[in-house]
Amino acid sequence: MKTRKLGPLTVSEIGYGTMSFANYYGASPERSEAIRVIRGAYERGVTLFDTAEAYGPFTNEDLVGEALAPVRDGVVIATKFGWNIDSETGERRPGLNSKPAHVRRAVEGMLRRLRTDRIDLLYQHRVDPEVAIEEVAGVVGDLIADGKVGHFGLSEPAAPTIRRAHAVQPVAAIQSEYSLWTRDPEPEILPLCDELGIGFVPWSPLGAGFLTGKVDPNATIDKADFRSNSPRFTPEAMSANQALVDLLRRIAEAKGATPAQIALGWLLARRPFIVPIPGTRRLDRVEENLGAAQVVLSPDDMREIEAAASKITVHGARLPEAVLQYSYR
């Protein structure tokens, strides 16, 4: 697989988001199967693996740590701090917490669970309005100086916040939701990443599975699946948003590809510093996603997609308001 740059980091041009192994889409597979899939992704060329202390909490980091321990020096592990989670018990408390002492405690737990002496890429999961971003950047800078962290990242920040953080501690990567149906980063965040030499990591690049064309708009979503509470996964919204899937399917048929591969290929073609992290619990889906790297979308293809997409109105907020309120601060 080809590589791309996230700031100073070199990673596979398609990464792997592991959140789906933390019961967000209903019950996860057996641990041994999850490890087989994660290791299978590495064997197929993936070198960027994304997790977070909030996934579980803690259980996802522990899983990723075990899965990647045999190949630790061949991968880049990214994880995230910032929610108000007790560093010892994993108890979730309301809101955010990026106070320096809390960040240091969180990192010690991450290192244990990930079975490593360093975190390659440490993101602030959401910007904490109670703690100046300069203070957050400073404590991450101290952790970098201590050798416990390699690089600093931010998730779902606003452009001015990125500038302020970057002035204190260079930011290697920004992670925000970005796909053909969520294009919020385009006006400000992507141009700023280009200006400052920061990589961009789209999470949910397949629209939580919807853009693959494999989500039945008429199906009832299990209550244990987080999508059951998402405004974009109501029957009405899914029915209206099917037009995007139809567009992807039409391009895919012409390219001998799948809708998922076109959705990922579109992201890869947007900027050379974009590294999407699709997540899946199945190895055949990993292989399908990685096949996007072989899809060539010409400038004419991109213009065709843009022209068609511009006529489609996406229905439903991308996240419930209780979660959305923490974005772009």
Active site residues: 55
* Cα–Cα nearest to 264, from 179, 324, 200, 191: 179
Token pair in block for residue 203: 């999470």
CA distance 175 to 49: 13
CA angle 129, 160, 123 (to 5 degrees): 60
CA distance 116 to 148: 9
- 57 prior amide bond cis, ω within 30: yes
| Distances, alpha carbon 92 to alpha carbons 88, 95, 127, in Å | 11, 9, 17
* Cα–Cα nearest to 67, from 283, 314, 269: 283
DSSP structural state of residue 256: T
